[in-house]
Structures are given as structure tokens and as C-alpha cells.
Chain A
Amino acid sequence: MAGSSSDQTFDVASLVEDFDLNRIGQYVLVILFIGFFLAPLETGIMTAFKTNRAVAETIPLMPPLAEGFTLDNMTFALNALSGAFFNSLFMAIPATIGSVLLGSMAAYGLTMVDWRGQMGMLVLFLIGIFLPYQAVLVPLARFWNNIFPLASMMRPLFVAAPILQDYHANLVPLMITHIAYGIPICTILFRSYYQGLPSSYVEAAKIDGASITKIYRRIILPISKPMFGVVFIYQFTQIYNEFLFAFTLITGSDTPEAVVTLILPAVGASTSGIDFGIRMSAAFLAALPTLIIYVAFAEQFAEGLKSGG
């Protein structure tokens, strides 16, 4: 009897294990969180494709129904933003490449080459990271406008160039500012990666007779490809989304050289109220380039994070 009853409890126990309450709880929690984070996104997308009437009459989460569906918002937003897209990319891509490349070089010089005063230089880079942007805004504007008016100096060059207009010259100071302010953080990111590399790479190459620049070009640069993916994505997102510098160095949202972040707040806002459909469309369009960059560099990004980036 005792034996059979213990068998019974054993069976029950194993049944319960199959419907582990803990596990069910975990799944429920995960689903709740997913819903919580995805709901605004879904609302946004749905709103972007709804007519004003549909926005007013349906629940935000609902997809647009037959007559509530429209592409007008998207077309409008695209028209409003197209110039700004070009401006943003024209400024952000060179700025990203510049800061990432220079950061990597600086990190190489700070970790893999021996020279006096390395520590002092590193401290300067660290200070560069912690310098608050707000503190430099006014001096920066004065510098580019009065002391070194690069934009007006370069205007003739831009007039002569194809595709570009003279006002695009106003983006160059912004680009250079971003490169300068991006170098410190890029340097620190690359530095931690380079510190993890065995020093024997550089030493072996030295004995093989390679110069400092050749070691960088042939050994270190190719080896740090995954890290480039990580830093590139990070830096592009930063620069593309940046507002303060753009707001200070470009005079306003109504100028032709305005970048996306300057124009975005104004799209869809008018005296008659806010057009949510247009705003949402614009927001999604504005986010598109960063999404594309993520997808393009996804492989390097994953590998870079894996190898201790």
C-alpha cells in the first residue's frame, strides 16, 4: 500500500512538472513586456497610415480600415523632409567616417605605440568626453561665424560643384564640429578593443620591418573591422540625431540647409492643431536611415560586441 501511494504522488509530481507554473509565469511576463514596448510603435505606424478622420474616430492601436487608409501623410512628410534628408546625410556620413577613423588612429597611437606623454594625451581625450556641449555652444557659434567663417569661404566651391547648392557650405562647420567632438569617445571605444589585442601582433610586424603606419594600415585596421561596425553605428546615430549643435550652427528650420532634426518638430504642426498622421509619418521616415545602417552593419555589430567591444 505504502509503495503504491508513493507511486501515485510521484506521478502527480511529474505531471505538475510539465505545467511548470514558474515557467508559465515567466512567459506571461515576457509577453506583457513585449506588448508594453511595442504598443507605441504599433500605434505610430497605424496612425501614419490613417486619415485625420480615422485618427479621431478609431482606437490608436487599430489598423486603418478601408476608407480610413491613406498614403497622403507619407507623401506629404517625404516632401517636407526630402531636402533635410540630403542635408543630414551629407553632413552625418563624412562626419561619422572622419571621427571613427581618426578615433581609431588615435587609439592605436595611445595603446600600441610607445611614446612619452601618452598618459597626458589620454587625459585630454577623457576631458573631451566629459565637456558639456552647452558650455561650448556660444563660443562655437562665434568661432564659425566671426573668427573663422569657413562656410562663407567655401561657398564659391559649392556653387561650382554639381548637385550641391551654395547653402550646403553652411553644413561644413557642423560636420567638422561633429568630427572633433566625436573623436574622444571613438578613441576610448577603440582603445579598450586594442588593449585586448595581443601586443605580439605589433611586435612581430615590427621585427618583420613594417613601419608604424604600415602596421596600422595592414594589421590593426583590418583586425579591428568588427569594432568599426560597432563604433560606426553608434557614432552615426549620435550625429544624425544630434540637435544642439545643429540648432546653434544652422540658423533655423526654415533655412534650406536645415537637417532632419531641425525640421522634424515643425512638420505637421500648424495653427489649426497637430496633424498626427503627418507627424508619425515624418517620424518614421526620419528614423529610416539609422535603421538601414543597423541592418547593413548588423554582422559586424554582433561580432564587435562579442569580441569585447
Chain B
Amino acid sequence: MGRIEISNLTKRFGDTTAVENLSLDIPDSEFLVLVGPSGCGKSTTLRMIAGLETPTEGSIYIGGEHMNYRVPQNRDIAMVFQDYALYPHMTVRENVRFGLEEEPGYTSEERDARVEEIADLLSISDLLDRRPGELSGGQQQRVALGRAIVRDPEVFLMDEPLSNLDAKLRAEMRTELQQLQHRFDVTTVYVTHNQTEAMTMSDRIAVMNDGTLQQVGEPLELYHAPANRFVGGFIGEPAMNFVEGTNENGTFVGTYIEYPFDEPIRENVGGVEGVVLGVRPEDINLRRFPEDGSGSLGDHEFQMTVSVVEPHGDQNVIHLRHPDDTGGDELLHAVTSGTTVVDAGTDVVVSIDPGAVHVFETATGDALHNRRLETELEVRNV
């Protein structure tokens, strides 16, 4: 039904390649999020699926039918735009109804009834006779969703629909959108630059950068097993720590720290020389540096100084620099629980468990080794 198959899709604007050789298979009723920094080609891809751009090469199938040369209205899709694109001169009712007018098989009464039904579902029934200009951002957002849902399409396309809302409302709409998608069971392609939206809403995430697909997978797969440095850095907030250095006989040597790899990491890294050590902030453990300055540091421990503390309430982000580094550049940042407060300037011992370490190849950025995840670890399926 709503399965989308994209094969070897390329789009060029003059000399610039916006999307390069993209292949993606989105099964029916999946919620796929296309995520990447601005200019990575995610919106262009979405617009090609919508039929607002024509592919230079490759093909797009929706529900098994070839779509490349089909006009948008014949693709059985609905799209929600970043600015909502509500028609300012029409009431909410007329806005929602507009999309139905060209749909065959409805009488005028049926159209009106359908609009009421959708309005009820989105709890915007009271707003039907207002103009978009009289609505708040969240309400406009709902109307835009209503306009998409009313046609009961095979595919929803959403272009950063939440980016104009404030943080609280965005978090609310996130779960609401997700529940709506579950209810209608419609294949959804959702474009965003916000990794939190990607992680929290999607069945699967497709990460794009510079027009090419970096990795497709379930949120936690991308989080714990990124295919390359870009994905590792893009997914997760605060971002993964990266330390550049070389692999010398199974030991990572950076400017300030040395980190001996254990056996499984050595196997994966092999003889690659230029490597980048990656570790998530929440996997860095901190303890106080002994007052007398003695105390022995383990193989995977380092002395560091707290440069900045960012309290978030529920957690603190601790920025760390190496004592030998006079420039004050930050080497690592760690996350601690919100009730553990550390003052800037404190000396701490940083320990990084080898089980939580990622290793990337400097030259290609590809992941050589991803962190170990003990699957039995506290997994709970009630």
C-alpha cells in the first residue's frame, strides 16, 4: 500500500549535487525520520517524494507504482510544511476542506462531515470558523495536520513541522504526532534537523550528510552502534566526545591521554593507525581527585580539571580539560546526575570503561569498533 522504494536517487541543481545515489526502502506504515544538518539533502529528498522536485537520476516507487513523472496530486500523499502553509484568507474549515475538493467520490455533505470528524479528532472543533492569523502556533500546527489527514493519504510527508514551536509545545506535539501516526497507520517520512525528534518519534532513522545516506536503523541502533563518526557525533545530546590520536600497538595515544585498548577492541581496530576515540558523556565516570595528590590512577583513568559546569537540574554537564593543556580547550564533557554538583576548577579523576568506548578510523570516519552492550543489562520487558 504505502510502501516507498527509493533507488539510486540523485538530484543535481546545476553543478551542485544535493542528493547522491540514495537508496531507501520504507515499509508500509513505518515512521521514518530523515535527519541531518541543514543542506544535507533531506528536504530535497522529501520534495522529490512529494513530486515538487524531479529526480535527476534514479526512481521512486510508492505502493509499487513508479512516481518519477507523476504530478503531486496523483501520488496520494499529504504534506505538512514547516511554515504550515495555511491559507490566510480562509477559515480553518475552508483550509481543511480545500484538500478534499479535488478528491473524487465525496458529496458536498460528506466533505463537510469529514472536516468535522477530523476537527474533532484533533480537538480543533472550536476553531473551525477562525482564520489562521487568530490561532496560536500550536493550533496552526494542528490545523496543518488536519489538512493532511483529511484526505486519508497513503503517505504523510512532513518537513520540520515542529520547528516553529517553543520547546515545551514541541515536546507535547512530538508524542501527539506519534500517537496520531500509530492510529492512522500511514507510512510517514518526517524531515528534521533535530536529533531529539528523530530519536523519540521514529521507527527508523535515516541519517544524511552532504547528500549521501550515512546510516539507516532504529534509534538505539544508531545511538549505540553508529556506522561512522558523523552519525556518532550527530545522534545524542550532549554530543559524543571525540579524541583524535594514533593507535600504537593496541594503545590509543592522543596529545594528552593514553588509553590502552582491551582485547576485543584490538581485534576490531587491527593495524589501523590514525584513530579517533569516541565516548558518550554519560559513560564517563568522575570521582574526586585525592587531596594529597598521590593515589594511583588505573589504566583507564585520567586526572582532569573541571572548566565549566552546566546545571540542567536533572543532570549536570561537566566540561573537562587536561591539566597540561594551558589553552583551556575542552577535552571531554561528562554528564552527572543533577544532585551531584561539582564546582568549576575542581580536580577530578575521569574513568572510561573500555566497554563503553567507540573507535573510528580518522581517514574515512568509519567505525572500527562500537561499544559493547550487554543485552541482559537491566532490560525490562514487563
Q: Are B82 and A206 in contact (CB under 8 A)?
A: no
Which of A204, A205, A209 has the most chain B CB atoms closer than 10 A to its own CB? Answer: A204
Q: Are A208 and B81 in contact (CB under 8 A)?
A: no
Contacts of A205 in B (CB 8 A): 87, 98
B19-57 CB contact bits vs A (8 Å, 1 = yes)?
A: 000000000000000000000000000000011100000
Once A203-B52, A203-B81 are accepted as A-B contacts, the answer to whether A208 and B87 lie under 8 Å apart by CB is no
B87-106 CB contact bits vs A (8 Å, 1 = yes)?
A: 11110000000110111000
Kindly provide the distance from the CB of A214 to the nearest chain B CB, expressed in whole angstroms.
8
Kindly provide the distance from the CB of B147 to the nearest chain A CB, expressed in whole angstroms.
8
- Chain A interface size, under 10 / 10 to 19 / 20 to 34 / 35 or more: 10 to 19
A201-222: which residues lie under 8 A (CB-CB) from chain B?
Answer: 201, 203-210, 218-219, 222
Q: Are B81 and A223 in contact (CB under 8 A)?
A: no
Q: Are A201 and B87 in contact (CB under 8 A)?
A: yes
Nearest B residue to A223, CB-CB:
B89
CA distance A219 to B73 in the complex (A): 17
Nearest B residue to A205, CB-CB:
B98
Main secondary structure of the interface of A (DSSP, over half): helix
- Chain B interface size, under 10 / 10 to 19 / 20 to 34 / 35 or more: 20 to 34
A188-208: which residues lie under 8 A (CB-CB) from chain B?
Answer: 198, 200-201, 203-208
Q: Are B89 and A209 in contact (CB under 8 A)?
A: no
Q: Are B85 and A209 in contact (CB under 8 A)?
A: no
B116-159: which residues lie under 8 A (CB-CB) from chain A?
Answer: 147, 151
CA distance A207 to B77 in the complex (A): 7
Q: Are B87 and A223 in contact (CB under 8 A)?
A: yes
B65-95 CB contact bits vs A (8 Å, 1 = yes)?
A: 0000001110001110111110111100000
Contacts of A218 in B (CB 8 A): 87, 98
Kindly provide the distance from the CB of B381 to the nearest chain A CB, expressed in whole angstroms.
40
Nearest B residue to A222, CB-CB:
B89
Q: Of B51, B71, B79, which one neighbours A204 at CB under 8 angstroms?
A: B79
CA distance A206 to B50 in the complex (A): 10
Kindly provide the distance from the CB of B6 to the nearest chain A CB, expressed in whole angstroms.
18
CA distance A200 to B85 in the complex (A): 5
A257-277: which residues lie under 8 A (CB-CB) from chain B?
Answer: none
Q: Are B81 and A209 in contact (CB under 8 A)?
A: no
Given A207-B73, A218-B98, A219-B87, 14 additional A-B pairs, CB 8 A: A198-B83, A200-B82, A200-B84, A201-B85, A201-B87, A204-B79, A204-B85, A205-B87, A208-B102, A208-B147, A209-B72, A209-B73, A210-B98, A218-B87
Q: Which residues of A contact B (CB under 8 A)?
A: 198, 200-201, 203-210, 218-219, 222-223, 225
22 of the cross-chain contacts (CB-CB < 8 Å) are A198-B83, A200-B81, A203-B52, A204-B79, A204-B85, A206-B72, A207-B51, A207-B52, A207-B73, A207-B99, A208-B98, A208-B99, A208-B147, A208-B151, A209-B101, A210-B73, A218-B87, A218-B98, A219-B87, A222-B90, A223-B87, A223-B89
